[in-house]
Amino acid sequence: MIRAALGGDELDVADLDLSAPVAVMLNIDRGTTEIKIDGKVESIARFGCDRCLESFSMPISGTFAIIATYSESNVKIDDENVIQLSSMTNEIDITTQIHDTLLLSIPMKILCQEDCQGLCPICGANHNKTECHCNVAEPDARWDSLKKLTIKITEDQ
């Protein structure tokens, strides 16, 4: 097992506000015609919650697998997880795989907590910290038919 710590600058992840270096752990198995690399990437990043807009830190991690091969018969041209090596190759650059794994580990909906209550649409109060007394209007009655349809679909399943 090989362990390394990389900075965000080395991986070109300027969009991420990393609070900690990127930890990379690699398991490398070398065969006669190929090298199999299994990697795990971990870090801590700061995000803004999608519901309440509060800033918070969250661990991010992901895994990847690469096969570096000397044999041309095993390689599919469009396979991004296979790297073709020549007899002159001294290094294997896996920064692209680390970069992609790190970015793909970020969830689509970033929440500070699973049950985040969000903001009041009227006064903007954070419902996780305080309870406001705004009178939120009832939904438009024209949508009631659609609501009945969704209830019927869920009952049928």
Q: Which of 46-60, 87-101, 135-149 has the highest mean pLDDT?
A: 46-60
Question: Is residue 67 a part of any domain in this protein?
Answer: yes
Question: Is residue 64 a part of any domain in this protein?
Answer: yes
Question: Is residue 121 a part of any domain in this protein?
Answer: no
Integer Cα distance of 109 and 37 in angstroms: 30
Question: Is residue 110 a part of any domain in this protein?
Answer: yes
Question: Is residue 42 a part of any domain in this protein?
Answer: yes
Q: pLDDT tens-digit profile of 40-78?
A: 999 999 999 999 999 999 999 999 999 888 776 655 555
Q: How far is CA 104 from the centre of its chain?
A: 4
Question: Is residue 155 a part of any domain in this protein?
Answer: no
Question: Is residue 144 a part of any domain in this protein?
Answer: no
Domain count along the chain: 1
10 to 6, 60, 62, 100: CA distances (angstroms)? 7, 17, 18, 13
Q: Determine the structural domain holding residue 21 and report its residue range.
A: 2-116
Q: Please say if the pLDDT value at position 3 is more than 80.
A: no
Span 86-108, average pLDDT: 84
Phi/psi for 149 (5° steps) reads: -65, -45
Question: Is residue 153 a part of any domain in this protein?
Answer: no
- 8 A C-beta contact, residue 14 and residue 25: no
Integer Cα distance of 88 and 95 in angstroms: 20
Return the percentage of the chain with pLDDT > 70, whole number: 80
Integer Cα distance of 17 and 19 in angstroms: 6
